Structure 1
Amino acid sequence: MATLRSGSHILVFPFPAQGHIIPLLDFTHRLALAATDIDLTITVLVTPKNLPFLTQLLAAHPRIQPLVLPFPPHPSIPSAVENLKDLPSRCLPALMHTLGQLYHPLLSWFQSHPSPPSAIVSDMFLGWTQRLASRVGAKHIVFSPSGAMALSIFYSLWMELPRLDDPRDQTAVVSFDKLPNCPKYPWWKISGLYRACVEGDPAMEFIKDIFHANIQSWGLVVNSFNQLERPYFDHLKRVMGCDRVWAVGPLLPLHDHDDLTVAVHRGGSSSVPLDHLLTWLDACEDGEVVYVCFGSQVVLTNDQMAGVASGLEKSGVRFIWSIKEPSVGHVEANYGMIPNGFEDGVA
């Protein structure tokens, strides 16, 4: 990345979702380590219920300061919820939209700060901060928690705005002819956020502006590496019209490599104590264990759970199956339940 200057102040603004906030905090940790010899100030913006995510980072770097702003209300989001992990995935547009209400409180903070940040590093879902950065004279850097190819497709969707000729045909193929290797996907496989877009809806127009603003940003940081995705990094440089696109991944957890147990609460509590899991893994041969996970947002239907469980049991392999705990609503709608007798059958 660009050389850090002594006396610089950077504002880091993660998006409150497991797969977004954790890698950006890991990046912030690396940023702080790289700046140990200079006078660098880092401020991390969160809402109150997301402050615990910063505990480990603040302990490792006492000079990093949290900025806690109240979570803006939204009719689709319960008053006690401030993170996508506690919401169904359909609430992503509402969460992105409501966080835009932090523009004016954050602007007031900038204007009253004796030494305001000269750069804002914000998640790709917080592109409205580019407009704020322009107003206060700061550089805006987008952080992508996932790969360059995925981001290239995201940008293409929101720039080109492809639509179905027949809305009922979910198998219609969408081609990304301007991307390297011209990837093609059936409509049902592309971003659910984009597929939910309704022309003229204020929330969706706001989200479209987010991605357009990202492309206008001063720089881009991607949690991936050139050896894996060089054609897509080159593509992103062309899209942004500059070479300020940095591959910084894969970002590793913030911990002492001799003590992995300190990372136990990164993504929430676990039904299996981490030290037990590590002891079990240490007793396994390399390449012997299959890891099964569908991400921090996905909750499978009970039929899908039964299918995965059956496959694992019949395979006879050793495995770790990471499952998002279903809410009461999920259970009532027949989602997320482990089949009866499965754990005894594979013990």
Structure 2
Amino acid sequence: MTTATTASTAPAPGTAARGSGRPPAATRLRAGLAHGSPALLSLVALVVIVALAAAIQPGILSVTGLSLMLMSAVPLVFAAQAQMIIMSVGDIDLGIGNLVGLVTVIAATLLATNPVLGVLMLGAVLVVYALLGLIVQKRGVPSIIVTLGMSFVWLGVGLQLLPTPGGATPAWLTAIGSWRSDIVPPPLVFIALAALVGWWLTRRSRVGARMRALGSSAATLDKAGWSLTRTRVTAYVLAAVLILVSGLLLAAQTRSGDINSASNFTLTTIAAVILGGGTFSGGRALPLGTTLGAVTLGLISVLLSLVALPSSMQAGAQGVIVLAVLAGRIITERFSR
């Protein structure tokens, strides 16, 4: 009798027990796939690219080989984290590429000859970004217009300081770029640091929660008593800090300055955020996915160079690969619904 009663009241397979408050197992599985699939897809794409590169050039799997292969992705990862912060509040920064280039110019000129003036110019960038966030929030000017306009300002200042590529970075910055290790590839250390910083800023700190709330539901954030203006300005300043780091690391690698050295970063960082699971509408910040997306995009050009693909075709091939990964994300998200 007891057995029959127990059997009759037991929940059906795949359904939650009444009153338990837990969704069915299938629903939880689909939710997990939806949350983790973007980073997983980026990771799979990254592993495939590394495997193909290793098949062509086995020496890549050494510490030295991985260092050379990942070096170019380091500045891109920091810039992508900055774009992720901007996109988490529902905005887009179209000036990142030229600003990173300007930072390399400042590093190769003023930081080497007049460090005080160089530091002041880098500090001025933070002030400008705070003003950009203020204008976007208070005046309602679309971020793409404000940041696109500033991209031409960054370009003009960079050309004024250094019309042609050149200059020389200070010794301390050169030392960072020339750091080598026999234990772990140095680029992996910087990439992990970028992911950790992005994770702490957007997922663990209170300001990160407010930034995501601003992008997803500004009215709710306002009703909770938080300043929308302060939140957006903070997001812009934090993004500017990461952009400055990106530019300094790029200058450390090249040991020179070039205003056009990161011209492709603008669109590449947006693609990295989207590959990592971000959205244009805001409210999401996935540092790990963004990091994997940025490294994947950075390694695509390395792989295409190893297969000796003509430079005229590399841009098109890179676009096809990116579209393939995005298509995989769309298919996975539809399956997880």
TM-score (norm 1): 0.21
Larger radius of gyration: 2
Higher strand share: 1
Higher relative contact order (CA 8 A, sep 6+): 2
